[in-house]
């Protein structure tokens, strides 16, 4: 994958995460701030905890950091972004982390 392909795909994933979480927020009383700046998506919750999801272009990875730890995801040729440690899909991990921070149930996100 070229640098431009990674950035294009990665930015599409970040935008999709932000969009799906914004839609989720419309269905719940829980609120959080979402900011996509460059290749970094920051979510800030009412208790001031944060989730940061960013592109790591040199490694061709998407990284997610939250108070429960750091996770690295690589694009699987068969489709999806998989955690390099346990093969969890990025959409599942984002849902788990948002559920933990916001204390609400969250369905796995659908990411290309």
Output the 3-class SS for 13-74.
HHHHHHHHHHHHHCCCCCCEEEEEECCEEEEEECCCCEEEEEEEHHHCEEEEEECCEEEEEE
Task: Read off the pLDDT of residues 58-77 as tens digits, 9 standing for 90 and up.
Answer: 999 999 999 999 999 999 98
What pLDDT score was predicted for residue 2?
87
What pLDDT score was predicted for residue 74?
96
Nearest residue to 52 via CA among 34, 68, 36, 65: 65
CB under 8 Å to 47, separation ≥6 — which residues?
Answer: 101
pLDDT at 3 over 90: no
Task: Read off the pLDDT of residues 15-35 as tens digits, 9 standing for 90 and up.
Answer: 999 999 999 999 998 889 999
* Model pTM score: 0.94
Q: Which two tokens stand for residue 32?
A: 């959080």
């Amino acid at each position: 994958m070229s640098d431009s392909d990674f950035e294009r795909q990665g930015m599409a994933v970040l935008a999709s995460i932000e969009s799906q979480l914004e839609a989720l927020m419309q269905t719940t009383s829980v609120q959080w701030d979402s900011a996509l700046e460059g290749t970094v998506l920051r979510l800030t919750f009412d208790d001031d905890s944060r989730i940061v999801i960013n592109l790591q272009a040199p490694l061709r990875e998407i990284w997610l950091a939250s108070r429960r730890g750091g996770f690295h995801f690589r694009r699987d040729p068969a489709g999806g972004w998989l955690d390099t440690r346990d093969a969890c899909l990025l959409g599942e991990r984002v849902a788990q982390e948002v559920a933990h921070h916001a204390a609400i149930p969250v369905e796995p996100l659908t990411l290309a």
